[in-house]
Structure formats: structure tokens, C-alpha cells
Amino acid sequence: MFEARLISATILKKILDAIKDLLNEGTFDCSDSGIQLQAMDNSHVSLVSLTLRSDGFDKFRCDRNISMGMNLSSMAKILKCANNDDTVTIKAQDNADTVTFMFESPNHEKVSDYEMKLMNLDQEHLGIPETDYSCVVRMPSMEFARICRDLAQFSESMVICCTKEGVKFSAFGDVGSANVKLAQTSSVDKEDEAVVIEMQEPVTLTFACRYLNAFTKASPLSGQVQLSMSADVPLVVEYRIQDLGHIRYYLAPKIEDDES
């Protein structure tokens, strides 16, 4: 028996919004420590890794480890039926071939359940080595989303250049060139608005805008995003999910000689 409950359906809707454009389907690995999903995106370029800790749920029970392969666009259809203030419960029997989503209104007078068929998906778990990154940037998630959207107008790829003073995002295309510079924040009233840079050595890396833009679909999950970069290793874009876990996206930099 697997059962996991969240007081608010909003958080689960936002999580699905953060992955459904990258993944058609995904396997949720459930154990008593929580729920994990790890998958390459549909075009096998970037990696998505989601971790939800069991202690972040309002109720969590997982008698036996269970892996549930789900069609994410079907799951999105189902979650669209939940009101934001509904309680959501995910339930499955051991060895079941279906999963049930139950939504309850705050006054308990509306109760909906949606049963969805599970899928058998191939999956290989990639070991992701812990790395000390040359630069770690924390910045407002909406600002990062805005910059990725803006620069994607000018080129398919963008350069992120990080130094002690700040971080610069650049794009070069037919229309012209674009540079957006963010200075490290001296002081902020609201923590979410800070730009903080931890630098061992400066880096300049090039990434495909298309994937960065897909990652920013996670922005509603967190006020801040963290970018971890080192030369020649994948960028990590991380969004914390308050009290519950995090979602991380990995994307390898483009090699200099690449055509954009």
C-alpha cells in the first residue's frame, strides 16, 4: 500500500508544470524516504531529477518500494481537475497497475477520484557525482526566467559568464548582440530578491536557450534558483521546494566550435 497526501494541490500542479514539457512520461520511485523521479528529457539532452522527502508530506505511507510509470500529460489532465485549495492524496496498492488521485475540497463536500493506468518504463538511474563547482549563483527565479526568455529572442544559445563581481548572460544573433549583467546584491530587504555569487574561479559557458527556458517552468516553485557551474561539466539548475525537496536540471555546456 502506497499513500501520500498533500494539504494543497497547488504544489503538485507546479511540480508537474516543471517537468511535463521536458518529459512525456516518468517513473516515480517511492520508498519510505520519499518519492524520486530521474529521467532524461524527451530529446535525451538534459536530465531532470526530482526529490520529494516523505517527511514533507502531510501523510506518507509506503509499505513496499514501488515504481510507478506515469504518462505525464495524462497526469497533468487529472491535476487540472483539482482546485488549488483541495487536499490531494496519491494512492496505489502494492503490485497495482493503476494509481488513484483523490481531491477533497476544504469542506469535504466535494470529493473526486481519478484512476490512471500505470506504464512500464525502461529506466536507468544515472549516478550523479557530487562536485565542487567553480561558481554557484543564487538569484531570483523570475529574473532568471525573464533573462532566458529575453535572450532566446536573439539566439539559440546563450553564454553565462560568472566572475566575483557578477554574472553576465549574453546572446549573439542576426538582430545584434545582447548582454544582461547582474551585480552581486549588496543588501536586500527580501531574501528572494538577492543575487549571491560564490566563486572559486571564473567560468564562461555556453548553453542551449531552449533547455534553460524549459527549466524555468519550475520558477513558481521557488523564489530563488541556484546555478552551479564548472568548466566542461553539466550546469545544475536547482529549485528548492519548500519543506518537501527540490528539482534539479542538468545540462551540458555547448562545445565552443559548435554551431549554435
Residue 137 engages its own copies in binding (rule: CB under 8 A)? no
Residue 17 engages its own copies in binding (rule: CB under 8 A)? no
Q: Pick from 175, 191, 243, 258: which binds its own copies (CB under 8 A)?
A: 175
Cell readout for 221 is 516553485
Residue 178 engages its own copies in binding (rule: CB under 8 A)? yes
Which range in 58-66, 88-96, 180-188, 196-204 contacts its own copies by CB under 8 A? 180-188
Which range in 40-48, 59-67, 146-154, 236-244 contacts its own copies by CB under 8 A? 146-154
User: Whole-number minimum distance, CB 131 to its own copies, in Å?
Assistant: 28
| String marking each residue 194-233 x if it binds its own copies according to CB under 8 A | -x--------------------------------------
Question: What is the end-to-end Cα distance of the chain in Å, rounded?
Answer: 49
Q: Which residues pair with 101 in a beta bridge?
A: 90, 114
3-class DSSP assignment, residue 193: helix
User: Whole-number minimum distance, CB 117 to its own copies, in Å?
Assistant: 6
The sheet carrying 98-104 orders its strands as: 59-62, 2-6, 87-92, 98-104
d(CA 45, CA 41): 6
Which range in 13-21, 26-34, 87-95, 169-177 contacts its own copies by CB under 8 A? 169-177
CB atoms under 10 Å from CB of 131, counted, come to: 11
Contact in structure between 49 and 38 (CB atoms under 8 Å):
yes
Cell readout for 201 is 574561479
The residue written with cell numbers 511540480 in the block is 15
| Interface ranges with its own copies (CB under 8 A) | 71, 74, 77-78, 80-81, 98, 108-117, 143, 150, 153-154, 175-183, 185, 195
